[in-house]
Amino acid sequence: DGHHRLVLDLTGVAFVDSFGLGVLVGALKRVRLLDGDLRLVISEPRVRRVLEVCDL
């Protein structure tokens, strides 16, 4: 259908630093340029909270 989807499985990731956040923001920007979606699979509540605070 020409729609771009990127799913990142962060299961098992216990910590995300500023570099990791930058990578995720960069991925989000690139996918949005292609009119696509970025989905994150997160199992660690602390990682989920950091990404929520950063509005990702």
Q: Is 16 exposed, middle or buried (0-12, 13-18, 19+ CB in 10 A)?
A: buried
Residue 22, pLDDT score: 95
pLDDT tens per residue across span 1-56: 567 899 999 999 999 999 999 999 999 999 999 999 999 999 999 999 999 998 88
Residue 56, pLDDT score: 82
Domains in the chain: how many in total? 1
Question: What is the domain extent for residue 28?
Answer: 5-53
Q: Give CA–CA dist 4/36, Å, rounded.
A: 4
